Structure 1
């Protein structure tokens, strides 16, 4: 019976001298490479046995040959990775006069792996044929000798008494296959960002961020190339020409895109081979953006834990492949803060574009005359600022025609080049003072610098406002040359659960804190909860339709029985029937909060 898992590979004891010097990260890579090599040898043994069975038909033999070629390719890949880890992690550089060992380190480990498997299968055979039993002791002796030889080699490598040869295999079989025509990006293939750079530059950190915050699908370039080669029956894709490698990569990306048409961004990490990525760029054009993550050596050394020799060796391996020569469309400086890195990545994932926003003069707003005049003066002040690329927009009832005097606030969004400069803040203070003088109108102003807007480091409500502006809601000012991010409804909806949680917490506090349960804030937060609950379902509603639509769409909620808005406004402004109106609002709020609690518990 063939075991699913291979027998254990004992290598810690003979390699103790070497393993003790490997940093934690390199030890993990070493263990992964050895484990992968041993598992592959285990599967390879089974595959080779599969084509030796009696009366095997030609189709089965051909399929088995393809599997064997693929496993041999994996075997080479793990072996070369093992040699790279040893070269990068060994702290002592051997003298050029040190004797050269006959084979790379991985070959000895590979031989130990195969011998351990041979012992396992010899024991199985001996159980059925006693004549095989004498071989068991001889194979055990071979394992003992290999342990001793590996221990000696390990000590000699650590002390620099022996040099190791280049472990690259340069396999050639299966390389004569050529595509009839060069592939082209298919219509379903989304933008692709290829991340390159030297060791410890932050490629993986960048890929993780783009996956988490931008919904990108992450791939390692080696995985894509290996998968594509396996489909073609190629044993070693790295022996192929750069253009052939690029064709295989694009074919694999096209296959994935056809099967996942909802994916909007793909990242490829560990781009080290300059010629291959240049060839891929020639095939994909602007669909591919090659990004070089640049970090000075001293910063990378500090981030890696301070093992200079290990980092230099890893850099040598990558630069030998051309990692420092990749044809980058963008160079991303990652020597600063994580915030700076994330901002750069957001720009790459969704570059800001010149704003195409409809504008209207403040005089056309359906607002009281004094409010229109104050708003007009604010727009004039901001548009007169030198070198300012401003966006000024009102949101909510002030712009959608639902203004109620004595009830509505003025909510304003301003995005300016200089952010919170003295002149911008002075204009805002004058506007706020004028509104207060117009019957105590409150100004809710959100003032942001362009740099924060361009990287979409914004509250969910501001993202929603930008969506509305991009979909036709008018602004009061959109300066020439202003570049804003393209924000999708999907992005806003993705951030809605967090915004909803904050709104629920605030509503509970308003409902239960003494002195805070007033008509206006409770009613407005009830409407806000309904808007967010609908948006979570990709339903965007504004104005008087929000609460009725929530009652209709939220299963099991039932009627909220709110008084007409005119009665609510009258209770707020003049205390007319205040107790009854407030009681109805509190009942509706309690019903909605209880419903939300039940949905979360489900």
Structure 2
């Protein structure tokens, strides 16, 4: 359907603080020909007279409902008469009636239904505003009026009295009644969506009604890192680390604001109010991301508190503010300028509220230590961002159950957070005479004494190799673990291998890409170890086979496939990488006859072919000598 913009009005409606004015401002920039006519109180001089006295007294007590409706309808009529062809209204005609009805419910002790009926009867007697096509959109957090009113009230910056609270509850109920009877052409339930997502949905909704609106960029920006801090705290170094070690696109906030000012024909972008700065900056980020296809961007330096706080509202969880902190003595020692000049820059930042950003930051980095500490913490932030923390549920082992219970009891104390059986341990795929028993223990601390007295004294079954990997909860929080532990964590989240989880402990669940990235990071080490194994005249069949499977897993993870069982891994590898010519003996054959010379040779040759294949995989770029 195409809607003519010849005399068209679009209104946004909803309870207080739902974001009507904010969303209209964004919408106006996407509809250059639109006339933002604002609220009705700018269109009738009587509003100034009422506001000059006790406005709340007139609104809720002194005025009659008829007087209230008269002022609203007359103001709306004047607004329509002065509107351009395409008008953007802050509260349309249904909402104006709703506010009158909510006020009547308070003044006249009426139910929401009775109040709305009263206002509708009064309003019908007033002259109609200029006729035009209308699209009324209701914005709401929830379909439940009580929750809607509560959300509105909790967003008030000042304490509210009982009367205003009752008004807001009545208004929410009346808006719900209007929505049920079809007074609004569209109802957008916002939930906790950030401003940017709401605006995107709003534009999509209006385009369905045939309106011509510039779409927001569809480029999915996974993360916007916003770096803040006082002078010489280390913001630039963090930006460099994000760029150089983690592939994050690095931009200066000032540059994008200058671009936004040029686009808007404004001389000084800092003359905009800070929320407007954040909006204009965001639109430039979206344009840049669409052009560059960047998925993760870091911006520096955030100096203004209100603009930074508003950025978080605009972007929601995709925006992460990092405040880089260091005491004045450390910063002065780093500065190439005089202490007087540094203090002057600090004074400017204090005036802009830079120091307050620490209170709204998602992460605060204490950058008073060595560079190594900064590199580790930046890696931790990037590696763990986007991961969820989940409860794990113990699952009974299929094999070695008695031994696993005995060992778990031996290990447990108040500091142990998690015990996992990894690999084939405790599972149906475990093979006598071939498989090892592997455990993973996560503990708050892992001191030498505990390692020797607890792990060193584990009861071990005869002729079975037992391996225990120990990590601190800090290691796990930072995902400072090898790829096989990442895979074990993902399997544990599916209920595989969990022997114990401390009540209240939530394990990190790495995103799928983390397993692939960490696996490829260890490829060189795995290749080196495999070649060492093959160098022995009498090869260790179990070790070589496990390394062969591991190499295949690394490539499959890079392909986007995640298999656990060795035979499944090799079957998938043969299908996806048939040119590798990797055909090792069947696992059952190796288990039955691990010393068979022919099988050993076949295994060694298959492994050699696989490594030769890997060596050629990245030879797809032609480089001049």
Query: Shorter chain as normaliser: what TM range?
Result: 0.5 to 0.7
Moved more, 582-591 or 217-226: 217-226
Task: Provide the rounded CA distance (Å) in 1 between the counterparts of 2:297 and 2:331.
Answer: 26
Query: So what's the TM-score if we normalise by structure 1?
Result: 0.61
Superposition deviation, residue 339 in structure 1? 4.5
Query: How many angstroms apart in 1 are the aligned matches of 2:611 and 2:375?
Result: 36
Aligned to 1:428: 455
Cα distance in 2 between the residues matched to 1:270 and 1:312 = 17
1:595 maps to what in 2?
613
Say if 2:481 is the partner of 1:458.
yes
Which residues in structure 2 correspond to 1:277-288 (within 5 Å)? 277-284=308-315, 287-288=318-319
Change (3 A) 1:306 1:510: farther
The equivalent residue for 2:574 is: 551
Cross-structure match for 1:565: 587
CA distance in 1: counterparts of 2:323 and 2:474, whole angstroms: 22
2:410 is aligned with 1:341: no
Gaps in structure 2 of 5+ consecutive residues: 1-87, 91-138, 140-193, 201-219, 621-625
Residue 378 of structure 1 corresponds to: 407
> 1:422 Cα shift?
3.5
**Alpha-carbon spacing, 1:588–1:389, altered in 2? closer, same or farther (3 Å):** same
Counterparts of 2:221 and 2:547 in 1: how far apart (Å)?
Answer: 42
Map 1:43-122 onto structure 2 (within 5 A).
none
Contact 1:274–1:327, Cα closer than 8 Å, also in 2 = no
Q: Is the 8 A contact 1:393 1:477 kept in 2?
A: yes
User: How far off is 1:248 after superposition?
Assistant: 1.0
Counterpart in the other structure of 2:417: 390
CA distance in 2: counterparts of 1:557 and 1:454, whole angstroms: 38
Over 3 Å counting, the alpha-carbon distance change for 1:524 and 1:389 in structure 2 is closer
Structure 2 counterparts to residues 127-526 of structure 1, below 5 A: 184-186=195-197, 188=220, 190-212=222-244, 216-256=248-288, 263=295, 265-284=296-315, 287-304=318-335, 307-326=338-357, 328-330=359-361, 331-345=364-378, 348-349=381-382, 350=384, 354-360=389-395, 364-368=396-400, 372-383=401-412, 385-386=413-414, 388-420=415-447, 422-423=449-450, 425-431=452-458, 434-435=459-460, 438-514=461-537, 517-526=539-548
Secondary structure (helix, strand or coil) at the match of 1:589 reads helix
Structure 1 unpaired stretches of 5+: 1-178
In structure 1, how many angstroms separate the alpha carbons of the residues matched to 2:241 and 2:455? 36
Identify if the C-alpha distance between structure 1 residues 189 and 581 changes in structure 2 by more than 3 Å, giving closer, same or farther: closer
In 1: Cα distance, 2:230 partner to 2:406 partner: 54
How many aligned residue pairs are there?
A: 405
Deviations along 1:417-472, whole A, 9 cap, x unmatched? 123464465332232xx32xx23211222100001210122222222222222344
Q: CA-to-partner distance for each residue in 1:517-546, whole Å, 9 max, x for gaps?
A: 222222221121111121221211121211
Report the equivalent of 1:83.
none
Contact 1:394 / 1:413 at 8 angstroms: preserved in 2?
Answer: yes
Counterpart CA distance in 1 for 2:89 and 2:261 is 16
Secondary structure at 2:226's aligned position in 1? strand
Aligned-residue CA RMSD (Å):
3.1
Change (3 A) 1:559 1:506: closer
Query: In 2 relative to 1, CA 184–227 (structure 1 residues): closer, same or farther, beyond 3 Å?
Result: farther
What TM-score, normalized to structure 2?
Answer: 0.59
Cα distance change of structure 1 residues 406 and 490 upon mapping to structure 2, 3 Å threshold: same
Query: In the superposition, relative to structure 1, how do residues 450 and 197 fare at CA in structure 2: closer, same or farther (>3 Å)?
Result: same
Hey, what's the Cα distance between the residues in 1 that align with 2:371 and 2:493? Answer: 29
User: Does the CA contact (< 8 Å) of 2:556 and 2:573 recur in 1?
Assistant: yes
More helix by share: 1
Cα deviation per residue 1:98-140 (whole Å; 9 max; x = unaligned)? Answer: xxxxxxxxxxxxxxxxxxxxxxxxxxxxxxxxxxxxxxxxxxx
Secondary structure of the corresponding residue to residue 522 of structure 2: helix
Distance in 1, matches of 2:522 and 2:494, equals 22
CA separation in 1, counterparts of 2:553 and 2:380?
29
Q: Indicate how the Cα distance of structure 1 residues 340 and 482 shifts in structure 2: closer, same or farther if over 3 A, else same.
A: farther
**Offset of residue 257 of structure 1:** 5.7
Asked if structure 2 preserves the Cα contact closer than 8 Å seen for 1:185 and 1:254, the reply is no
Greater percentage in strand: 2
Tell me if the contact between 1:357 and 1:469 (Cα under 8 Å) persists in the aligned partners.
Answer: yes
How many Å separate the matches in 1 of 2:615 and 2:374? 38
